[in-house]
Structure 1
Amino acid sequence: MIVVAGEALVDLVPTPDGALAPRLGGGPYNVAVATGRLGTPTSFLSRVSTDLFGDRLIRRLHASGVRTDLVRRGTEPTTLAVVGLAEDGSARYSFYVEGTADRLVVDPGPLPDGTDAVSFGTLSLVLEPGASTYERVLWREAERGALTVLDPNIRTGLIDDPLAYRDRYDSWLSHVGLLKLSIEDARWLADLDDDAGLPDVLDVARDWQRTGPAAIVLTLGGDGLVVLSGTGEVIHVPPVPVTVVDTIGAGDTVHGALLAWLHAHDALSTEAVRGLDRTNWAKALGYAGAAAALTCSRAGAEPPFSAELGMT
């Protein structure tokens, strides 16, 4: 089983007439939905509001095949994210996070037997006191031997002290088995210029890899996906052609689809990830890219179901 840990929230997404439509989301929540829809045993670890939005978030998890045994409910409101869309469909966010339920997540203690992988990321590793709780789970599960997967999914507007956050990120790497992040987030974490090219980013990724991760997957937007494999080989998979409606949830779908592919190919361990060869990485990234393309073809974070994709 895969446990996805982190926040669930509501995106307020602009519609053609200028209104804001609520869409269920949050980076970890989207990852759990994507993984569950692709037929992978998945459980969500979080604290979700008892308000109307919280009820809808829980129902969608169940409809996507995701277990909620590790979800606790609270009377505080659901976090809101107001989404702005650029002409190319890319998204920017502003957040309403004060006093919301997900920030008060409780450490569940050791995760259930049969938990092979645990995924972390986005706001849940920024906003206290929840960030410290998830951090403890990350350390404990890594020491237990689970495959730990991290997508920092940076939201700069919520990071008050970038230097302190970068230091904290560096401290996580020795406990991370698989690192997945966008090239933009990699530039920010490495304090590189916004126009730094892929070779510069890969140089930094190699330093990160020496610290801990067995492999590092970079999403390149319209340029596809790249992995720095366990042997240090760089493998690039081009994007799947698609008419983009928006990119909300695309990176999260890549994350969830990668987890689903690793599960289907009995590779949910750090050593298995380290041992994947070029052929298998090309298949894994191709599957993740195809899933993300389907998400980009429709409004909001709507990852595909397994019937829409063919596993290779």
Structure 2
Amino acid sequence: MSTIAVVGEIVADAVLPPGAVVDGVAHLTVHPGGGPANTAVALARLGTTARFAGRLSNGALGALCRATLEASGVDLSTSVVVDRPATLAIARLDAGGAASYEFYTEGTADWGWTDESLAPVLDAQGGAAGHPLAIHTGTLALALQPSGTAIENLLARARGRMTISVDPNLRTNLVPAIVYRQRIDGWAALSDIIRLSEDDLDQLWPGWTPGQAATHLHQLGVALVVVSLGAAGAFASLRGERITVPIAPTALVDTVGAGDSFHAGLLHHLAEAGAFGGRLDHLTIGQTGAALEFAARVAAVTCSRPGADPPWAAEL
């Protein structure tokens, strides 16, 4: 069984559906969330060993989030518990189930990583399953400071022996788009896999096609570029070989965690194919297409139920 290390935040997602404010009272449902944590949960449920490096709050919302990680089988041997509140996100749903977010991050648990505290992620003896073959990160922990620099340093140290996956997952209501534009090329130089959403693409390089973005990222050293296209499916370019796969049908409830589940499905399938541990040198476009189709099925199940609740392997 492959081990994938996941580094980043775990967030309490307070989901606000349409019409949930009644008589001046907001009726929210709180789910564990945060891009990296969602990815770790989805990986573990699919059967990959997901070693999550998170800074877990010891408060009530932190306990809720930790319980979901543990129940999903996530390896927490490189996580730490800190005496700070959990990060809170308000996920406002529109009539079509799409989510927009506002974040409360000041003084919360997730952003205090240092080079020293992240060192165990690369320890071959850490956790239950030995040395990870790949490392995944992204979303806010990579964009905010001081955690972002520490994670970048970790990726640089890991690159000699691990496949690097990044999902920038832009949150421009908290981190200005200009910050992502200034840093994306540096992230790409450290990465083997980058996945973008349509919104990410538009905010990073307005007017660019997925193919133009892929060409740019390949020039910086990224082997596999994936762009999620919403209802149009997903585009991928493997060193210039391109493929597009359709979405999997689903009864849409909401899109919370859909991208994270998709990325986890992609990583799980590539791990099963033996692609990790280097620069994806032996990955074929056919294997890539199969991984994208599997990822679309994983995301479809997540979209069929509330919050970031990815499927277990048996559900597929």
TM-score, normalised with respect to structure 1: 0.92
| Structure 1 match to 2:196 | 181
Q: Is the 8 A contact 2:210 2:227 kept in 1?
A: no
Aligned residues: 299
Partner of 1:10: 12
| Equivalent residue for 1:102, pick from 103, 106, 110 | 110
Q: Give the match's secondary structure for 1:235.
A: strand
Distance 2:213 2:227 in 1: 12
Partner of residue 159 from structure 1, selected from 175, 185, 199: 175
Q: 2:146 aligns with which of 108, 129, 132?
A: 129
Shift of 1:274: 4.3
1:64 equivalent in alignment to 2:64: no
In structure 2, C-alpha distance between the alignment counterparts of 1:108 and 1:6, rounded to whole Å: 11
Task: Structure 1: give runs of 5+ residues left out of the alignment.
Answer: none
Q: Is residue 103–residue 128 contact of structure 1 (8 Å, CA) maintained in 2?
A: yes
Amino acid at match of 2:285: R
Does the 8 A contact of 1:49 with 1:74 survive in 2? yes
Describe the SS at the equivalent of 1:169: helix
Shift of 1:170: 0.9
Q: CA deviation at 1:235?
A: 0.4
1:258-297 maps to which residues of 2 (within 5 A)?
A: 258-271=266-279, 273-297=280-304
Whole-Å separation in 1 of the counterparts to 2:275 and 2:315: 23
Which secondary structure state, in structure 2, belongs to the residue aligned with residue 3 of structure 1? strand
Instruction: Tell me what 2:99 maps to.
Output: 91
One-letter code aligned to 1:172: W
Distance 2:173 2:101 in 1: 8
Q: Secondary structure at the match of 2:204?
A: helix
Letter in 2 for 1:154: L
Within 1, Cα distance between the matches of 2:210 and 2:291? Answer: 22
**Match 2:238 to one of 214, 229, 236:** 229
1:180: how far off?
Answer: 1.1
Structure 2 residue 178 is the aligned partner of structure 1 residue 169: no
Task: Report the aligned-residue RMSD.
Answer: 1.4
Contact 1:72 1:105 in 2 (8 A): no
| Structure 1 counterpart of 2:229 | 220
Show the counterpart of 1:251: 259
Paired letter, 1:177: D
Q: Secondary structure at the match of 2:54?
A: strand
Quick check: 1:126–1:158 contact (8 Å CA) kept in 2? no
| Structure 1 match to 2:166 | 150
Residue 119 of structure 1 pairs with residue 136 of structure 2: yes
Amino acid at match of 2:217: W
- Is the 8 Å Cα contact of residues 42 and 66 (structure 1) preserved in structure 2? yes
Q: Is the 1:120–1:151 contact (alpha carbons within 8 Å) kept by the matching residues of 2?
A: yes
Q: CA deviation at 1:105?
A: 2.5
Q: How much identity, in percent, do the aligned residues show?
A: 37
Q: What's the CA shift string for 1:93-146, capped at 9, x where partnerless?
A: 00100000111124321512211100010010122111122121111111x321
Mark the runs of 5 or more structure 2 residues left unpaired by the alignment.
22-26, 125-130
Aligned counterpart, 2:24: none
Cα separation, 2, equivalents of 1:11 and 1:304: 18
- 1:167–1:17 CA distance, 2 compared to 1 (3 A): closer
Partner deviation per Cα, 1:233-252 (whole Å, 9 max, x = no partner): 11011111111100000000
1:247-273 C-alpha deviation (Å, 9 max, x unpaired): 0000000111111111211111343x3
SS at match of 2:84: coil
- Residue in 1 aligned with 2:51? 43
Range with bigger deviation, 245-254 or 277-286:
277-286
Q: Which residue of structure 2 lines up, in the alignment, with residue 138 of structure 1?
A: 155
Q: Separation in 1 of the partners of 2:213 and 2:273? A: 29
* TM-score of the two chains, using structure 2 as the length reference: 0.91
| Counterpart residue identity of residue 90, structure 2 | V
Deviates more, 1:44-53 or 1:133-142: 133-142
